A = this chain, B = another copy of it.
Amino acid sequence: MLILAAERAKADVAEAVAPFGIAAPLARALLILDSPTPMREMAQQMACDPSYITGLADQLEADGLITRVPGSDRRIKLLVATERGNALRADLAEAIATKSVLERNLSAERRADLASILTDILGSTGEDLVAPQH
């Protein structure tokens, strides 16, 4: 059931996000980028392999939504949202919030309960149901 619900939520996100001409994983990445983030850290936050971030970053960069900025340690590249990227991020967050099954089928109170349970499952803290930890 948990998996079914997540698939449903995922499909909702994909649908909510499609009108903006962006794929779900790119949207997910962009939503995390409210502050400059090393690629390695992005991978941890998205619970995926770092090599995958390279591809996401390539596409987001090609779309003019982010840029790669070298850090003080010059092995590190910070992903930072452009002005367009930030604007889109706000739009995406709103579209997802209003279209998601979570918003549609759950009261605010139930959503809070869910967030609490999911926090236990993940064994870490989180506050937002759609985008992970900031």
Binding site for B on A (CB under 8 A): 1-10, 13, 28, 47, 101-102, 105-106, 110, 113-115, 117-123, 126, 128-130, 132
Contacts and interface: CB of A to CB of B under 8 A. Distances in A.
A132 to B, nearest CB: 6
A1 B115 contact: yes
Main secondary structure of the interface of A (DSSP, over half): helix
Give the number of copies in the complex: 2
A129 B2 contact: yes
Max chain B Cβ within 10 angstroms of own Cβ: one of A3, A123, A130, A132? A3
Contact of A2 (B105, B114, B120): B114
Max chain B Cβ within 10 angstroms of own Cβ: one of A5, A110, A115, A120? A5
A4 B110 CA distance: 18
